[in-house]
Amino acid sequence: MSDALETFCHAMPKVDLHVHLLGAVRQATFAEMAARCGMTAAETEALYARDAKPKGVLHVLRTLEQRVLRQSGDLHRIAYEHLQDAAAHGVRHSEIFWNPTGTEHIFPYAKGADAILAGFADAATDFGVSALLIPSIDREATPEDATQLAEWMLAHRRDPIIGMGIDYRETDRPPELFWKAWRLAKQGGFRLTAHAGEFGCHPRNVETALDLLEVDRIDHGYTVLEDPALAARCAERGVLFTVVPTNSYYLRTLPPERWAEDHPIRRMPAAGLLIHPNTDDPPLHQVTPTRCWRMMVEDFGFGLADLRGFMLNGVRGSFLPEPARRHIEAAFAEEFDALAAECFPQGVLS
């Protein structure tokens, strides 16, 4: 099964809706950029090391913002290389988070955004992969910083800048703190998504993001299971949860022998929730899109029909404009079925 599963997960058409630009830097590229500011190869290796109980990646992202990045061209390179790597694993479309607040001291929003979009355009030409950018609120910064981000987005509109997100550490930084930024972005026609219910945080954050801030989808969202009534409402509304199999919080807090059994990802579809697996910070999580999808089978026990459903959840919940989204949905379904017949002629993953 493992060879066929590898072939299948590698080749199946995929979107990635939850990946952070600064979490997607290749280790070799990080080392090269870090050398400019005097960091040693050993320091880079230590940052990229991931043990059985990973301590998370936020400190690496801060190192990039505060020490390593020097010019907007760095963002072009990171975006281009990430999309090259993703396309090599069958990713056809990616939606990528970027925190402009953390790099404003190096280059202004417009310059950074244009560099990333140039990277997207070059990757589309060279690798046939499409990408959309989601500038994201740094929730460890102030609400005023978030409002400023929304104002930058409104002042510098570009078609591939599709929506606004929020990330960094959720603990004690609930989404409503940033209501003004959300309102400005929504009034400006941007799509909205929010990291909520990560780090074991209260499911209220998922509820607030959906009901008060009116986000279109939820990133992570695992603790929604702690509030069955809320979970039922999310299922009824068809809210998409972009989940991350390699999420460090559960690797750190669940006992290794119970991790796969007790992980909320395993239980979310049974509660009627729409999920889609994503890579988050691929080199830092030591994951590829292929492995991300393999984990859904090997760790969480999902079958072929589940994978097909997750794939379609992702396309339907993407921020791609119509009719491109509908076209991709039909093409993905057809390609998935042909590939499944080839890899698994019995119709099951065995």
- Max CA pair span of the chain: 57
**Which residue of the chain is nearest Zn ion when measured via CB?**
280
What's the closest the beta carbon of residue 133 comes to Zn ion, in angstroms? 15
CA-closest candidate to residue 65, choices 96, 95, 28, 20: 20
**Closer Cβ to Zn ion, 138 or 280, answer by number:** 280
The DSSP element (H or E) to which 95 belongs, if any, is: strand 91-98
Told to judge if 335 belongs to the known catalytic residues of this protein, a careful annotator would answer no
Check 65, 95, 198, 207 and give the catalytic one: 198
What's the closest the beta carbon of residue 139 comes to Zn ion, in angstroms? 12
**Closer Cβ to Zn ion, 145 or 280, answer by number:** 280
**Closer Cβ to Zn ion, 167 or 343, answer by number:** 167
Q: Which of residues 278-297 bind Zn ion (CB under 5 A)?
A: 280
Q: Contact at 8 Å (CB) between 343 and 4?
A: yes
How many residues line the site for Zn ion (CB under 5 A)? 1
Q: Contact at 8 Å (CB) between 299 and 291?
A: no
- C-alpha–C-alpha distance, residues 161 and 165, integer Å: 11
**Closer Cβ to Zn ion, 102 or 304, answer by number:** 102
What's the closest the beta carbon of residue 213 comes to Zn ion, in angstroms? 17
The phi, psi pair for 117, rounded to 5°, reads -65, -35
Cα-based distances in Å from 84 to 75, 80, 92, 168: 14, 6, 11, 25
Cα-based distances in Å from 77 to 63, 117, 307: 17, 11, 32
Q: With CB under 5 A as the contact rule, which of the stretches 51-59, 132-140, 274-282, 313-321 interacts with Zn ion? A: 274-282
Q: With CB under 5 A as the contact rule, which of the stretches 63-71, 133-141, 277-285, 293-301 interacts with Zn ion? A: 277-285
What's the closest the beta carbon of residue 242 comes to Zn ion, in angstroms? 8
- Residues within the interface to Zn ion (CB under 5 A): 280
Active-site positions read: 198
